[in-house]
Amino acid sequence: MSDREIDFKLRLCTTIATGKTLAMLCGNRIVLKPLSKSDVDLMDQMNQDSETMKFLGRVGTPRSRVEEFIQKQQDQFARRGWGWMAIESQQGDKLGFTLLQFCSRLSEIEIGYRICRDYWGQGYATESTQLLLSHALNELHFNPVIAAIDPLNIASERVLQKIGMQYWKEIDWETTPSGFARCYKIP
Reported in sequence order, the residue ranges of the chain that DSSP labels E, i.e. its strands, are 9-14, 21-26, 30-34, 84-89, 94-103, 108-115, 145-149, 166-172, 180-186
Quick one: which of 84, 89, 92 has its CA closest to 123? 89
Q: Give me the residue spans of the domains in the chain.
A: 3-147
- Is the separation of the CB atoms in 79 and 72 below 8 Å? no
Tell me the whole-structure pTM to 2 decimals. 0.85
Quick one: which of 163, 23, 10, 34 has its CA closest to 88? 34
Predicted pLDDT at 113: 96
| Rounded Cα gap, residues 139 and 168, in angstroms | 24
Is pLDDT of 144 > 60? yes
* SS3 category, 140: coil
The percent of residues in the chain predicted with pLDDT above 90, rounded, is 71
**Mean pLDDT, residues 118-124:** 97
Residues 6+ apart with CB under 8 A from 117: 49, 51, 52
Is pLDDT of 7 > 80? no
State whether CATH 3.40.630.30 applies to domain 3-147: yes
| Rounded Cα gap, residues 114 and 128, in angstroms | 10
